[in-house]
Amino acid sequence: MKIAVVGATGLVGTVMLKVLEERNFPLTELIPVASEKSVGKEISFKGKKYAVVNMETAIAMRPDIALFSAGGGTSTTYAPLFAEAGTTVIDNSSAWRMDPSKKLIVPEVNASELSIDDKIIANPNCSTIQMVVALKPLHDKYRIKRVVVSTYQSVTGTGVKAVEQMMNERNGITDGPMAYAYPIDLNVIPQIDVFTENGYTKEEMKMILETRKIMGDDSIKVTATTVRIPVMGGHSESVNIEFENDFDLADVRDLLTKTEGIIVVDDPANLKYPMPKDAHEKDEVFVGRIRRDESLPNTLNMWIVADNLRKGAATNAVQIAEYLVKSELI
């Protein structure tokens, strides 16, 4: 079982390696891949050193699975070349997510859609992943009509430069790199990615379109506002869900508690609710503040938190790989 990690020296690629090691993924050979400037560098994995190689070398080595986290342009160019060599690509960029010929997979939601013929599999956007994990069991039971989501997203979602900007601002350093158009520390920026013609940002449109595709239901209405906040550890979401059918709150809590990949933290009397610092370096999706929306019938409010670098990216990709191996689809 040969596994390539493309973008192995980047923020998400580094977490992918960590998750592969922690989950004891059954690989026999690791192929770390990065840009030419990183070729020859060594990375450690399970006590061994591995030299970073370039794309062409990795393709020639014909890995069974390639986990991609190297940007949309790289994925568009190289994912098909890996696929032609017989490799199954699990891509973390936005390049293939809305391609109708490619599956968009969150294992707890729709892994059963995968077949042996899927050679390029898309990993969804981080903010979408954590939301649909919580939405799926509720949709199956009560049928979702509409979702209103506001996100509170970690600077780690932007990358190393954003983390550096925030820490520099926190430490009074004014001449460091700027990942954002504005200061982020002691601030909130209601823009993630670029604006589109309809006034929504690309991040917001990703949540709208990806949710429908993953859930397999274009009738679900979704509207989103995505916001960057000065925190580390994970993304948080305030989610308002209108159902076709009424629900019992105790049943909702019980259903979520029994759902794979979800941890319910919902004890307001003792000030227990999910926070990014609690989700940090965890693979689960945390759900709390579960309550009825008293302004509309059949409507629920929830607060959803997950580590965006893990379940929102690296862990989800590795879980897809685990499913492929377990189901003998490679």
**Which tens digits make up the pLDDT trace of 208-256?**
999 999 999 999 999 999 999 999 989 999 999 999 999 999 999 999 9
Q: Which band of pLDDT confidence, cut at 50, 70 and 90, is reported for residue 52?
A: very high
Contact 300, 252 (CB under 8 A): yes
Nearest residue to 6 via CA among 101, 86, 87, 110 = 87
Q: Tens of pLDDT along 109-164?
A: 999 999 999 999 999 999 999 999 999 999 999 999 999 999 999 999 999 999 99
Q: Identify each DSSP E strand in 81-232 by its residue range.
A: 88-91, 103-104, 120-122, 144-153, 221-228
What residues does each domain of the chain span?
2-124+313-326, 127-308
Tokens of 89: 């690509």
Predicted local confidence at residue 177, as pLDDT = 93
pLDDT for 210 equals 98
Mean pLDDT, the chain, integer: 97
* This prediction's pTM: 0.96
Average pLDDT over residues 78-90: 98
Out of 3.60.15.10, 3.40.50.720, 3.40.50.300, 3.30.565.10, which CATH number does the structure's domain 2-124+313-326 have? 3.40.50.720
139 is catalytic: no
% of the chain with per-residue pLDDT over 70: 100
In the chain, the percentage of residues whose pLDDT exceeds 90 is 97
pLDDT, residue 55, reads 97
Residue 178 designated active-site = no
Q: Identify residue 189 by its one-letter amino acid code.
A: I
9 and 41 in contact (C-beta within 8 Å)? yes
Q: 163-182: per-residue pLDDT in tens?
A: 999 999 999 999 999 999 99
Question: pLDDT by residue (tens digit) across 13-26?
Answer: 999 999 999 999 99
268: which residues sit within 8 A by CB, 6+ positions away?
289
Catalytic residue among 235, 288, 310, 316: 235
CATH number for the region 127-308 comes to 3.30.360.10
* d(C-alpha 306, C-alpha 237), whole Å: 9
Taking residues 89-100, what's their average pLDDT?
A: 97
3-state secondary structure of 159: coil
Residue of 126, 131, 224, 309 with catalytic role: 126
Predicted pLDDT at 163: 96
Topology match between the domains 2-124+313-326 and 127-308: no
**Confidence category of residue 285, pLDDT binned at 50, 70, 90:** very high
